[in-house]
Amino acid sequence: MQVFLQTLIGGITFGAVYALVAMGFSIVYRTMGLVNFAHGSVVMIGAYAASTFYLATQLPFAVAIVVAIVVTGLIGLVIERFLRPLENKDFTLMLIGTIGFGAVLEAGAVLVWGATGHAVPSPVATAPIDLAGVRIPTYSLMVIAIAAAATGLLALFLQRTKRGAAMQAVAMDHQAATAVGIHVGRSNALAFAIGAGLAALAGSLIGPMLYVNPTMGGTLGIKGFAAAMLGGFGSMPGAIVGGLAFGLLDSFAAGNFQEYSELVTFLVFALVVMIRPTGIFGEATVNRA
């Protein structure tokens, strides 16, 4: 039972981060119909930005997270601006463009921070909470809380604000949205910026749990993408459920299948996607590709 609960804790913590990454993938996809392959690299830049700021200034970690979100949000805007001329013209080129941006970001990180990377000390120094032998690191609780808060804020934005509603409209039918006077380009830029901001949040949170280096975005990107697919690509609740499901799947596979854990995780993933190609919360309407 203890092993089960401990595995659950690990799975949920990493799952919360995957969910944030998945939400970033989904918000860009639902608005533009585009898979942003640079997303993993943006996560990495976010991790670097937050950890470098945190280590250099000794200001609270929350400030570092905000700085990272601003930095990567700007990067998101730049990527969108570069891709805008291709919007609704050449979709394949846009996809390749995002892959290119990913490579550029990774190479840029090596130039700025070097290839070696750095470890980030945990921002909360308190001992783990002990619940009948199950140990919950306080930092894990913080990660889960922040991820939940970010999800709530995003939902509020999309459903309760004019800009959010405009983004939803573009996601549903961009031609009709243009007809009623919504600026599609601006809406796309906002989607990219929010996606990048979510990536930064995920990156900054995972930094102290891992080791920050230029290639860390690869695995996180793939797992976040798989999580988004699992939940239903383009769906926000899907991204959250998919992220948590993927984190738990990963965690339980590690305990039960040892060296075959990765194989098992992705086999289960492939099976789910075969049975339900649109994912758990699949929305067929968002498919603009």
Partner 1 sequence: MFFARFSIAAAALIALAACAPPGQQAESGAGATGPIKIANVNAQSGQLSSLGQWEHKGVKLAIDEANKAGGIGGRQIKLDLFDSQGDPTVGTNVARKISSEGYVAMLGTAESAVTLAMAPILKDAKIPNITSGQSPKLADLKSPFLFLNAPTSVTFDETLAQYLVDDKGHKKIALISNNGAYGSGEHDAFLAALKSRNVTPVADEIVTPDQKDFNSNLAKIREEDPEVLFIGAEEVQSGLIAKQSRELGIKAIFAGGAPMGTDVYAATAGQENAEGSAVSSPYLSNDASEEIKAFAAKYKAAYNEEARMHVAKAYDGASILIEALKQTKGEGGQKLADAIRGVKRAGLLGNYNYDANGVGIHETKIGLVKDGKVVPEAAS
- Single-letter amino acid, residue 189: A
**Alpha helix stretches (DSSP H) within 33-137:** 39-57, 61-83, 91-113
User: Under rule CB under 8 A, how many of the chain's residues touch partner 1?
Assistant: 40
State the nearest-atom distance from the C-beta of 224 to partner 1, in Å.
13
Q: Which residues between 241 and 280 bind partner 1 (CB under 8 A)?
A: 247, 250-252, 254-256, 258-259, 261-262
Helix, strand, coil content of the chain in percent (nearest 5) = 80, 5, 20
213 sits near partner 1 (criterion: CB under 8 A): yes
6 sits near partner 1 (criterion: CB under 8 A): yes
Pick one of 3, 179, 275, 284: the residue that binds partner 1 (CB under 8 A). Answer: 3
Closer residue to partner 1, CB minimum distance, 80 or 250: 250
What is the C-alpha separation between 155 and 164, in angstroms, rounded? 9
Closer residue to partner 1, CB minimum distance, 4 or 156: 4
Closer residue to partner 1, CB minimum distance, 78 or 141: 141
Q: Which residues contact 103 (CB under 8 A, 6 or more apart)?
A: 41
Q: Which residues between 111 and 130 bind partner 1 (CB under 8 A)?
A: 115-119, 121-122, 128, 130
Place of tokens 């930095």: 71
Tokens describing residue 79: 């990527």
State the nearest-atom distance from the C-beta of 33 to partner 1, in Å.
30
CA distances from 116 to 41, 112, 215 (A): 16, 11, 10
Of 45-53, 66-74, 91-99, 109-117: span binding partner 1 (CB under 8 A): 109-117
Strand partners, 135: 130
Closer residue to partner 1, CB minimum distance, 168 or 261: 261
Q: Which residues between 85 and 104 bind partner 1 (CB under 8 A)?
A: none
Contact 134, 2 (CB under 8 A): yes
Contact 14, 251 (CB under 8 A): yes
Place of tokens 């190609």: 277
Q: Of the candidates 216, 22, 37, which has an alpha carbon nearest to the alpha carbon of residue 109?
A: 216
Of 36-44, 179-187, 215-223, 277-285: span binding partner 1 (CB under 8 A): 215-223
57 sits near partner 1 (criterion: CB under 8 A): no
9 sits near partner 1 (criterion: CB under 8 A): yes
Place of tokens 């997303």: 39
Pick one of 137, 197, 207, 279: the residue that binds partner 1 (CB under 8 A). Answer: 137
State the nearest-atom distance from the C-beta of 7 to partner 1, in Å.
4
What is the C-alpha separation between 102 and 36, in angstroms, rounded? 9
Q: Which residues of this chain interact with partner 1, rule CB under 8 A? A: 2-3, 6-7, 9-11, 13-14, 110, 115-119, 121-122, 128, 130, 135, 137, 209-211, 213-216, 219, 247, 250-252, 254-256, 258-259, 261-262
